Amino acid sequence: MAENQPIHIEALNPDCCNQWLYQQDACLTCAMCASVCPVAGVDNYDPRKMVRMVSLGMVDQVVQSRWPWICTMCGKCEQSCPMGIDISDLTRKIRSLREGKHVPGILSKGLAAALETGNNLSLPKEDFIFILEDVGDEVAEEPGLEGFTVPIDKKGARILTTIHNKLVNTHTEDLKPWWRIFHAAGEDWTIASDNWEGTTWGYFTGDDEAMKVMAGRIVENMRRLEIDTLLWPE
Ligand code: SF4
Ligand code: SF4
């Protein structure tokens, strides 16, 4: 789809996949969604208006606007909507109608890097392991956590956990609470050294095929390490 080229509802598959276009018709325009939305007002974003525009067939305008990219897809509005309209899912569907090259840069770059290297930072495996072990050493210096080590690629562990990319980049301190809890609970857990990223880039960009690839890699890690429980804290 070229930029500013209209999207016609009729051009979409009418058989199975367009129910989302009509669910918005149930909207009462009560604005409960807007009242709880943490980003309502940013660039005049209003989830109620977005729902109404889709309901009125103005899908083209919504797709070309910034609004679907302002919504954080947090799902808070869904909890308040008396009609159960899933605006985060609507946002994902709208995002999927944007041509890849017009997806905002940080998301398209993150997705491309994650698909190519297994994580959006393009962090080499040895650097990833170094960071985990370095933070693990700091945890081991805490009272009661002497001897702590980070179990990497532990075959047969009970839980495999994914890692949000920022936890091995700018927020390494945020790894520690997870690990303290695992330790206190006596949990048998591990982290995969490849394809460890839990950030759902495919979901954020509305790219279901990319999401399948990333989820498939996590499943493959579980098979390889013979683990049947996944903790995916994204
Ligand atoms: S899902 Fe989007 S519209 Fe709904 S509350 Fe979150 S940011 Fe707002
Ligand atoms: S809360 Fe639901 S019914 Fe009310 S305006 Fe928002 S989407 Fe429409």
Q: Which domain CATH number covers 62?
A: 1.10.1060.10
pTM for this predicted structure: 0.74
Whole-number pLDDT of residue 10 = 40
pLDDT of residue 128 exceeding 90: yes
Closest protein CA for atom 4 of ligand 1: 77
For residues 11 and 153, the model is more confident at 153
pLDDT of residue 16 exceeding 60: no
- Tell me whether residue 111 is in a domain: no
Looking at the fold, whether 76 and 180 belong to one and the same domain comes out as no
Looking at the fold, whether 128 and 216 belong to one and the same domain comes out as yes
Whole-number pLDDT of residue 21 = 66
CB of 48 closer than 6 angstroms to any ligand 2 atom: yes
pLDDT of residue 219 exceeding 90: yes
Looking at the fold, whether 66 and 164 belong to one and the same domain comes out as no
- Tell me whether residue 51 is in a domain: yes
Closest protein CA for atom 6 of ligand 1: 74
Domain count, the chain: 2
Q: Rounded mean pLDDT of 12-31? A: 70
Residue 168 has what DSSP assignment?
G
CB of 32 closer than 6 angstroms to any ligand 2 atom: yes
Question: Ligand 1, closest atom to CA 72?
Answer: 7
* Coil, strand or helix at 16: coil
- Tell me whether residue 83 is in a domain: yes
Whole-number pLDDT of residue 125 = 95
Place of tokens 């429980």: 229
Q: Predicted confidence band at 14 (pLDDT cuts at 50, 70, 90)?
A: very low
- Residue that is last in its domain, among 77, 102, 127: 102
For residue 159, what are the contacts with CB-CB under 8 A and spacing of at least 6? Answer: 187, 188, 189, 190, 227, 229, 230, 231
* Coil, strand or helix at 197: strand
Range of the domain at 151: 117-231
| Of the candidate ranges 11-15, 53-57, 162-166, 205-209, the one whose mean pLDDT is the lowest | 11-15
Whole-number pLDDT of residue 20 = 67
What angle, rounded to 10 degrees, do the helices at 47-55 and 87-96 form? 60
Looking at the fold, whether 155 and 208 belong to one and the same domain comes out as yes
Q: Report the distance separating Cα 45 and Cα 47, nearest Å.
A: 7
pLDDT of residue 37 exceeding 90: yes
CA angle 160-193-196, nearest 5°? 60
Q: Report the distance separating Cα 69 and Cα 80, nearest Å.
A: 21
Looking at the fold, whether 28 and 129 belong to one and the same domain comes out as no
Closest protein CA for atom 8 of ligand 1: 37
Whole-number pLDDT of residue 138 = 96
Give 202-218 as a DSSP string. Answer: HHHHT-HHHHHHHHHHH
- Tell me whether residue 107 is in a domain: no
For residue 163, what are the contacts with CB-CB under 8 A and spacing of at least 6? Answer: 175, 191, 196, 197, 198
Best mutation site among 20, 22, 25, 27 for ligand 2, i.e. most ligand atoms within 8 A of its Cβ? 27
- Residue that is last in its domain, among 102, 133, 166: 102
Q: Predicted confidence band at 15 (pLDDT cuts at 50, 70, 90)?
A: very low
Closest protein CA for atom 6 of ligand 2: 33
Sheet holding 159-161, edge to edge: 189-190, 159-161, 229-231
Looking at the fold, whether 133 and 178 belong to one and the same domain comes out as yes
- Tell me whether residue 1 is in a domain: no
Amino acid at residue number 79: Q
Q: Which of 132, 133, 212 is nearest to 168 (CA)?
A: 132
pLDDT tens for 94-103 read: 998 887 767 7
